Structure 1
């Protein structure tokens, strides 16, 4: 495990533990559309990604990050002649942008919902998972069995459906926004990936096309 992964996990654990014990702290830094749009507290777009509801929520997010981080770090390093420190910095940027991207999509769809709030690193984690899938859509096996590309299509489809139906106490928008950032990042670093993995990437775009239609309808 690379140092940057340890640092991100450590910071997330420390901030989450603080939030477990201090509700005022938790309430100030969680994602809340009204506080962002009217209160101008834009820091919530990032800070909420380091808070969690409970230990189970925290554990599974960090465990997933642990399993996928090295794939993305190694890829980023290769794009810079094997320079791991640079790869680690790019990885951290993708992770942070995925948190922000997930929360921006949540803000877009929940901007008028005064009761909505959310926390969790799921946007950032989704970004890293989907970056790994775009890098190796067939070689990567989720749960050791499911090809990455198939998991991505099913996950995105379920997230779009879950967002539309508001299924469970889950931030589907954050998952989707983070996944989009994660998919785009490797393609910016290595545009040839699109040609190499075109069929799989186009398959992943189908649920996102549905999301685009929903976004258009929400603006009307």
Structure 2
């Protein structure tokens, strides 16, 4: 089973294992949270700290945060890498990695700009990159059923619309400790990159209805 995942989905497997492993490590060594979390104040004043964009995407606040993100990634990340390879051949592995990494970076850029003067602001988690993966998947399968809170069925395209509206609304309020900007811009990055990678995806998306 492990060989199957490593052979067919090498990028998703590495991301999955590395995120879980590093998150569990910091749970037991909380002093590392401060060293690995996104800190816009530091990044805006020292560009060498840009590595925090990547490290912050590999750690999570707690078990629930990790579990939710990794369940989402398991169901959609591995599937999306398979789709990319099916459509593009072996280079699809590289393009999936590109989507994830660029999604992670661009989902954090607005947060860095918005909080560059806020010394007390920190952020962590892979939600931005995973939003990019999820929305890329939705372009391929817009009518598939998603289960909100693992219980409420909803077509993927409807979920996508509600998700974007909620992210915009919640970002303006910004009072729940969640980085909704990362969710929003990660989702938009996933859509834009997928359209650039697969010029026919819009016609495919429309044709699913």
Indicate the TM-score class for this superposition, using the shorter chain for normalisation.
0.7 to 0.9
Over aligned residues, Cα RMSD in angstroms?
2.0
The answer to whether structure 1 residue 70 and structure 2 residue 78 are counterparts is: yes
SS in 2 for 1:117: coil
SS in 2 for 1:9: helix
Deviation at 1:97, TM superposition (A): 1.2
Gaps of 5+ in 2: none
Deviation at 1:198, TM superposition (A): 5.6
SS in 1 for 2:167: helix
Check whether the contact 1:79–1:189 (CA below 8 A) recurs between aligned residues. no
Residue 141 (structure 1) aligns with: 145
Whole-Å separation in 2 of the counterparts to 1:110 and 1:198: 38
Check whether the contact 1:135–1:186 (CA below 8 A) recurs between aligned residues. no
Check whether the contact 1:53–1:119 (CA below 8 A) recurs between aligned residues. yes
Whole-Å separation in 1 of the counterparts to 2:206 and 2:50: 36
Check whether the contact 1:33–1:110 (CA below 8 A) recurs between aligned residues. yes
Gaps of 5+ in 1: 201-220
2:34 to 27, 30, 44: 27
Residue 129 (structure 2) aligns with: 124
Residue 160 (structure 1) aligns with: 168
Deviation at 1:157, TM superposition (A): 0.5
Q: Deviations over 1:163-198 (max 9, x none)?
A: 000141211011112111111121111112224436
2:188 to 170, 176, 180: 180
C-alpha distance 199-44 of structure 1, shift in aligned 2 (>3 A): farther
Whole-Å separation in 2 of the counterparts to 1:60 and 1:118: 17
Whole-Å separation in 1 of the counterparts to 2:69 and 2:205: 27
Residue 87 (structure 2) aligns with: 79
TM-score (normalised: structure 1): 0.82
Residue 98 (structure 1) aligns with: 103
Q: Which moved more, 1:104-113 or 1:59-68?
A: 104-113
SS in 1 for 2:57: helix
Whole-Å separation in 1 of the counterparts to 2:117 and 2:155: 38
Q: Which moved more, 1:180-189 or 1:13-22?
A: 13-22
Aligned length in residues: 196
